Amino acid sequence: MLEGSILQQLMGDRDRHDRPMLNFGVYYKNTLVALCHALEDCILATQCQPLVITAFQQGKWYLQEADRYGAIADNAEQIVIMAAPDTGFHSHPTSQRSNVALIDLDPNDPVAQEWHLIILSPQYTAMVLCQELSPADYGPQGIPQNDLERKFYGFWTFDPDLVRATATCALQHVRRYQPELETRLSATMASILAANPSLSETGSHQTVGEAVTRVLDYLQHSEDQVKGSTTFQGSDDLTHNLTSNELQAFLRMAQLVDLMDPLNPQAAVEVTALLEMMAQVIDLPAWRVKRLRLAGWLHRIAPLQTEVAGTDQAPSCPLVPGAQVLRRMSQLRAVAQIITHQTEHWDGSGQPAGLAGDQIPLESRMLGLAAYFQAQAIARSRQGSADPLGDCLAQCESAQGKRWDPKLVEILSLVVRGLQQGLSLPNIPMRVTLGAGLLDPAVVGWDSESDASRSPARQEG
């Protein structure tokens, strides 16, 4: 990580404040192009008037996107473009716009080796923050001949706290070149934060859902281009990188759903931990545990699964919109099925398909029970219950045979007793950049309905 780069400054800031470490990954340039185009398109769609800060490495890369940035400028409050200048960098019409500012980076500036897109508005935040690998990092094979196969190290996110912190670092870097511009940009950022101080409105299901859909569209289109091309040396690696980022888009959305829920910000992590413990009790095969874990992380991106959220409205069709988007990835169709049926009831009175008993996929029964229990435990803790776990377990036991699988309630009771006696939930952090390992066909594939619906009693037998 280059000393003095924006990426390095952000890491230093998080270390000083004892914040969680960031999850980094390696991205091919073609992946970053698809990601950036998708995130930029949200500016055009949401009319959010953001502050946009970009680093293009060299002016020639900006010139390839200059017409596109002219359209973005129509909907942006201010755009700042940092790059080592090339011929034409300042002469393109977009560069003459009153709300477009160019920063001529010194070629020795470490930011000239970075690729950034930072979007900050009261309604929408997103960013890509990456640094190109050094020639030594590429190893014996050297820098790829095809420009789209170049590699970058970093991450992308919708997290408003990270976007705000990175924008602050970027403005500090701007001050080195144009102090007056930095003063003006700081005022713009202050105005954005004044409109939504905590950026709590950022990341609504609709806005982020639309962003994720665009990310999928661009990544899948890029994947089709790679598969149909003979010019890429590592087409399999490129395709794998694109597919991994499709899953990352869902995981980052799931993170943001939790982040924007002040009453239950650890829902996905804690539900996944409960599922892990229940799966150990029934000795669920490892590949099904991994699939169940992924369903636990993603279960809250289906907003119409409202019984878990505590409302009365329920989906009336098996094609639950929030889960349907997961089916855009063939590798996630089994996970989508688990999430879709988490609100079925053991007696057949649930939604969306009215399945009963062992007709309900086992993983769906487990997910529904764990998600309900976790949400109710958090609610009772806020209400001051002396024994929130015991209260929630009693409520689940009163509905066994009706809403819940009786055998699973027994298993949950074993887990709860362990927690009451000091056992801790397993720490299973959501590592979005390691998502590719979860896309192994043996993990996410759906073997058969009979396998999916086996009861825990049969699992143990």
Residues 334-375 have pLDDT tens digits of: 999 999 999 999 999 999 899 999 999 999 999 999 999 999
Which of 2-11, 21-30, 46-55 is the least confident region? 21-30
Residue 280 has pLDDT above 50, yes or no: yes
Domain regions of the chain by residue span: 6-257, 263-460
pLDDT classification of 317: cutoffs 50, 70, 90:
very low
pLDDT recorded at residue 16: 47
- Summary mean pLDDT of the chain: 83
Residue 355, amino acid: L
**Percentage of the residues of the chain whose pLDDT score is greater than 70:** 82
Q: Which two tokens stand for residue 316?
A: 């009336």
Closest CA to 158 of 250, 76, 51, 244: 250
Output DSSP code: residue 426: P
Beta bridge partners, 25, equal: 154
**CA–CA separation, 298 and 14 (whole Å):** 26
Report the Cα–Cα distance between both ends of the chain, in Å, rounded: 53
The predicted structure's pLDDT at residue 63: 92
* DSSP code of residue 331: G
- Checking if the pLDDT of 125 tops 50, the result is yes
**pTM exceeding 0.75:** yes
- Say which CATH superfamily domain 6-257 falls into: Endonuclease Chain A (3.30.870.10)
Cα separations in angstroms, 291 against 257, 288, 308, 404: 20, 5, 20, 21
Given a cut of 80, is residue 21 above it in pLDDT?
no
Instruction: Name, in order, each residue with C-beta under 8 angstroms of 155's C-beta and a sequence gap of 6 or more.
Output: 22, 23, 24, 25, 129, 130, 433
For the residues 175-193, what does the mean pLDDT come to?
95
Q: What is the pLDDT of residue 253?
A: 80
Backbone conformation region of residue 441, classed left if phi is above 0, alpha if psi is from -120 to 50, else beta: alpha
Residue 204: how many other CB atoms lie within 10 Å: 16
Between 448 and 296, where is the model more confident?
A: 296
Contacts of 33 (CB under 8 A, 6+ apart): 148, 222
CA atoms within 13 A on the CB side of 63: 12
Q: 77-86, 167-176, 406-415, 426-435: which range is least confident on average?
A: 426-435
Kindly state the DSSP code that residue 351 receives in the 8-state scheme.
S
Tokens representing 223? 């994947």
210 has a pLDDT exceeding 90: no
The average pLDDT across 11-34 equals: 72
| 263-460 under CATH 1.10.3210.10, yes or no | yes
Tokens describing residue 132: 């190109």
Tokens found for residue 34: 């698809």
What is the Cα–Cα distance from 126 to 36, expressed in whole angstroms?
10
* pLDDT tens digits, 216-264: 888 888 888 777 666 666 667 778 777 888 888 888 888 878 877 888 9
